[in-house]
Structure 1
């Protein structure tokens, strides 16, 4: 779950993160009032859940409150299009007004989960700011990495060496160690999946101040954090994905024409990969959780049937003890009757109640192409979708 920059700064402040003084405005006069209170140069920053704001004209430094109010008037209610928003952009509904900080130098620092090992990873660069990913890809800057294991134990000596490689020594290194320890605790206690500070400014006064913060929280842990779950802005997230979550489904909309359904994240990803390998284009990723009932599954199938780009459905399920195959067959049958739209159905069934599921498909009037294995199912779905193009 993405959150806004101002929310991330508020969450991380109790863990020792130093940020510029500022406030959030939802109207241009409010932006002017905040700038007037802060005094001196301020930065007006559009609050959208995507990077690349400065390049897109969403970040401005101004010298006076009147200028801050003028910039706010131009930004609020406008869609900001960046490399991360897609061509439709995101609507600017809030602005963060902060005291402008003179940086002696800028660094990059982040904590994330290493997908290959499951360990907490600290990464950083002696240079921060815009386009850091592109610069790293071109080999123009060095990105340092330090594995922190499960992250439950501080490792001050290793972190001190890591920060020394970023050019932080003496008092700055001590501050950096305290900062990393605070971020580590925040990462674990708040069930984050990413905390990124870019840039982290070294000020003229010898302090470390986070000029921009990006933070993501683990959706699957939100049951432990109802206060954090309330930070989600439903109008900024995919309505379909939110609806799926409410019905025990993991769903991601894609831009292809083959609707995919699987019960298990690994099986779903493998199905998606096979469709791509067969030169097809998945319309979505969908993982049916073991807690989903037939009516939940019907809601998921409705998402696929309501997508006008979908030309065929590929259902790849392995029935288990908690969720036999016929439960998924029943969900599809209910969805197709409610929707009234029929699509070619390519099915690969295995496990508990697979044969019964085939009879349930027939009872619902669902004509299926029954495939014996995953590859034949994927290639068949691709061929059918191509004919319907």
Structure 2
């Protein structure tokens, strides 16, 4: 099981390998806020489980929060070698003095592990290995001994790495052993102008035989067993089908998760997790409503939106336009709060769709949606 870069970096940090501060998002608007939190300039990186992101345009340096939003908007939705970009990671840039390559990999043929290292890391490491194989050191690692400080020193000497890399090599071996990995790769491992050794990129592959111990990394991939999940993925929506009767649509993963909990507290079951992200255009709302309403188990829909950079009147306009194309047959409860909420509510009142009702709070919206769903179930039975 391959991990995303941000997941690999999380493992590195847990084991004491230094990584620059970073955050992950699926929203261009949130990317602006993250860049502001990280200090302004950021590196925006597509999160896909394949190489060649830089050459494909999936990595870019943004000089300020506005540029970070633009870069995230450009990268999100890209197709990189058949992998759709649904999230980006924003990381603080560092002043690089030197780049290196290091990895540990299971050598199944030899029945041991192999340390591979080079003093010439970066995007062109494959070309370096092909053109000048002597520039890439390959050192067998005895699994019984592991990578001690002495072994790490031998690896750095063989590869021409500075002695400062010894501690990072020891800690990366701990990632491999303690996390059931068959591959741990850092490209590049860098020395900054301040003399720190940092992992700027990472790839970790976990042993599939240890999946039962790696449940926190269980993710739904681009291939979906459920046709609604496949349809949502094709439209770029973050959707997970659940076994309930209240369809849930919100903007932002945290808000959607909270909405699921509130619906459950009202005695109903959420039918899905659908995050439309920071922008709620008419097309996005129409796509989201189409997917949710296509679930035969859905008896009502709860749209819960908190307006931030995206104003609530824009969200309401999207809902109004979506109703023309969706033509709902099940009741929809809408809760709008935040930026321009009053104007958004007025827009929905002007439309006065018979199946759309509004609620002032998330609790009220959840109670209404739950009551409508449970009443419909009772009438059906």
**What are the Cα deviations for residues 197-242 of structure 1, in whole angstroms up to 9, with x where unaligned?**
00111101111111110111111211233223x2x33225899xxx
Offset of residue 57 of structure 1: 0.3
Matching of residue 34 in structure 1 with residue 30 in structure 2: no
Let me know the Cα RMSD of the aligned residues: 2.0
Contact 2:48–2:85 (CA under 8 A) maintained in structure 1: yes
Contact 1:135–1:141 (CA under 8 A) maintained in structure 2: no
The corresponding residue for 2:96 is 103
The corresponding residue for 2:10 is 10
Structure 1, unpaired ranges of 5+ = 240-389
Offset of residue 141 of structure 1: 5.9
Offset of residue 5 of structure 1: 0.1
Contact 1:148–1:155 (CA under 8 A) maintained in structure 2: no
Secondary structure of the equivalent of 1:17?
coil
Partner Cα distance (2:201, 2:214) in 1: 24
The corresponding residue for 2:110 is 117
Contact 2:25–2:31 (CA under 8 A) maintained in structure 1: yes
Partner Cα distance (1:2, 1:118) in 2: 21
Matching of residue 143 in structure 1 with residue 132 in structure 2: no
Contact 1:128–1:199 (CA under 8 A) maintained in structure 2: yes
Matching of residue 217 in structure 1 with residue 210 in structure 2: no
Secondary structure of the equivalent of 2:135?
coil
Offset of residue 28 of structure 1: 0.4
Contact 2:99–2:190 (CA under 8 A) maintained in structure 1: yes
Query: Which 4+ residue blocks in structure 1 deviate beyond 3 angstroms?
Result: 151-155, 165-169, 236-239
Partner Cα distance (1:238, 1:45) in 2: 28
The corresponding residue for 1:71 is 71
Partner Cα distance (1:224, 1:39) in 2: 37
Q: In structure 2, do the counterparts of structure 1 residues 236 and 67 end up closer, same or farther at CA, with 3 Å as the change threshold?
A: farther
Matching of residue 127 in structure 1 with residue 120 in structure 2: yes
Offset of residue 33 of structure 1: 0.6
Say which of 168, 173, 192 aligns to 1:184: 173
Partner Cα distance (2:120, 2:225) in 1: 34
The corresponding residue for 1:43 is 43
Contact 2:105–2:182 (CA under 8 A) maintained in structure 1: yes
Give the TM-score of the pair, scaled to structure 1.
Answer: 0.55
Matching of residue 161 in structure 1 with residue 172 in structure 2: no
Partner Cα distance (2:223, 2:142) in 1: 34
**What are the Cα deviations for residues 128-154 of structure 1, in whole angstroms up to 9, with x where unaligned?**
011311221122761112211115544
Contact 1:151–1:188 (CA under 8 A) maintained in structure 2: no
The corresponding residue for 1:234 is 221
Contact 1:120–1:151 (CA under 8 A) maintained in structure 2: no
Contact 2:4–2:203 (CA under 8 A) maintained in structure 1: yes
Partner Cα distance (1:203, 1:141) in 2: 25
Contact 2:184–2:203 (CA under 8 A) maintained in structure 1: yes
Secondary structure of the equivalent of 1:215?
strand
Partner Cα distance (2:141, 2:51) in 1: 26
Give the TM-score of the pair, scaled to structure 2.
Answer: 0.56
The corresponding residue for 1:275 is none
Structure 2, unpaired ranges of 5+ = 227-381
Partner Cα distance (1:34, 1:141) in 2: 42
Q: In structure 2, do the counterparts of structure 1 residues 143 and 181 end up closer, same or farther at CA, with 3 Å as the change threshold?
A: same
Secondary structure of the equivalent of 1:234?
coil
Secondary structure of the equivalent of 1:183?
helix
Secondary structure of the equivalent of 2:216?
helix
Offset of residue 168 of structure 1: 3.8
Partner Cα distance (1:3, 1:28) in 2: 23
Q: In structure 2, do the counterparts of structure 1 residues 179 and 214 end up closer, same or farther at CA, with 3 Å as the change threshold?
A: same
Offset of residue 23 of structure 1: 0.5
Offset of residue 167 of structure 1: 3.7
